[in-house]
Amino acid sequence: MTPERVLISNITTPQGENALRIHTPDDKKEWAKTMALKNDISNRGMLDSFSVRPIGEGKYEVINGSRRFTCAKMLHEEGHPYFADGYLTVSIVEADEYESLQSQLATNFHMNKTLKGKEIKAVQRLSLAKGWDLNTTVEKVGMSSDYLKKLMKTTYLPDNVQALIDSGEMSLAAAIQLSKLPSDLIDDHVEEALVLSVADFTAKIAQALDEYKKSVQKGNGGEVEFSLTHEFAGKEAVELALDSAEAEYQLDASDYNRGRLDVLQELFAIDEKSAHVRKAEWDKKQEEKETKKVEREAARQVKKIEDAKKLIAENVAE
């Protein structure tokens, strides 16, 4: 991988879905970093070369170093003497689209210790294209499986929330907390995710989940009180089952929440019937039990009377 001189005009940054971090004024935070780097390169030159891959017809696409390339291109267009000849020193790497994507993701995570919304979706897309399971994916991207599972959950948040994540208005930490909620509760907490601190929002989500669990056990709004008739599987068994569902659904399902619901339905026999219907069914079963109990007691009384009559008849005969 010997460094070579390539015309700046023959180099492009990744496009479309593979354009993970767009260095434009639209993202003020990222643009500030770009301007700081541009100033540094203007004063000291391009100290480190970056990697590109051939894309045909003498053209190249940046793999790692899109911010450095953006700065160099701007300085060239401004006539800076460092780039007067229109060439950049780059390392040319033979790589396909997905190998390039993998390298970008690993580098971005290593540098920032987190990924943005578009990058998280790219991890999902990459794992599908390569047929990687969860363990292989985390190994290739360079993060823990627990963290990746949390990130993946955010990809199933509604479009309006995805837009807030991509724009930077909603922090990824807040989005991870929001993704813990059932889909029908998410919209109620979006505003809080934008204004509360991560610590306060985490506590708020924990409270909302606790209230939701109680409402499920009691019926709609907690108005119907009855006990579930299943044998509780235990916390560890439930968490293990949900972890298995996450591993299956987070990378290749179109609806993560549907996957969780399927698992919960299997564990707890929860259906989508209204609370009053479930309460009526439960009451009916209790009535049937009471009726059978009364019938059994009546049958015992009849047998006692018959046994007594038989004993009297035997004593009289003697």
pLDDT in tens, 73-104: 999 999 999 898 999 999 999 988 888 888 88
Amino acid 104: pLDDT: 84
Residue 83 region by backbone torsions, left for phi larger than 0, else alpha for psi between -120 and 50, else beta: alpha
Q: What does the DSSP 8-state code read for residue 25?
A: T
Contacts of 67 (CB under 8 A, 6+ apart): 21, 23, 33, 34, 37
Instruction: Choose among 80, 82, 102: nearest CA to 93.
Output: 102
Contacts of 275 (CB under 8 A, 6+ apart): 219, 220, 223, 224
Tokens 């701007």 identify what position?
Answer: 74
Q: Kindly tell me if the per-residue pLDDT of 55 is higher than 60.
A: yes
Encoded tokens for 222: 């907690």
Tell me the residue type at 124: Q
Q: Which residue has the higher pLDDT, 130 or 88?
A: 88
Q: Average pLDDT of the chain?
A: 77
How far is it, in rounded angstroms, from Cα 90 to Cα 288? 80
Of 55-59, 84-88, 305-309, 313-317, where does mean pLDDT reach its minimum?
313-317
What is the tens place of the pLDDT at every residue in 153-207? 887 788 888 888 877 788 888 998 998 888 888 989 999 999 999 889 999 998 8
Q: Is the dihedral of CA 241, 242, 244, 248 positive or negative?
A: positive
Amino acid 107: pLDDT: 82
Encoded tokens for 286: 């209790």
Amino acid 236: pLDDT: 57
Amino acid 96: pLDDT: 87
* Model confidence pTM above 0.95: no
In the predicted model, what is the mean pLDDT of residues 217-229?
A: 41
What is the tens place of the pLDDT at every residue in 237-277? 555 655 555 554 444 333 444 455 555 555 444 444 454 56
- Which pairs with CB-CB distance under 8 Å and at least 24 residues apart come from 192-196? 194/164, 194/169, 194/170
Q: Give the ranges where the chain is alpha helix by DSSP (H).
A: 28-44, 66-77, 97-112, 117-130, 134-141, 145-153, 159-167, 172-178, 190-195, 198-218, 235-252, 256-268, 275-317
Q: Does domain 1-95 have CATH number 3.90.1530.30?
A: yes
- In the chain, % of residues over pLDDT 70: 76
Amino acid 230: pLDDT: 37
- Which pairs with CB-CB distance under 8 Å and at least 24 residues apart come from 272-279? 274/220, 275/219, 275/220, 275/223, 275/224, 276/219, 276/224, 278/219, 278/224, 278/226, 279/219, 279/224, 279/226
Amino acid 250: pLDDT: 43
Encoded tokens for 133: 């399971």
Grade residue 314 by pLDDT with cuts at 50, 70 and 90. Answer: confident
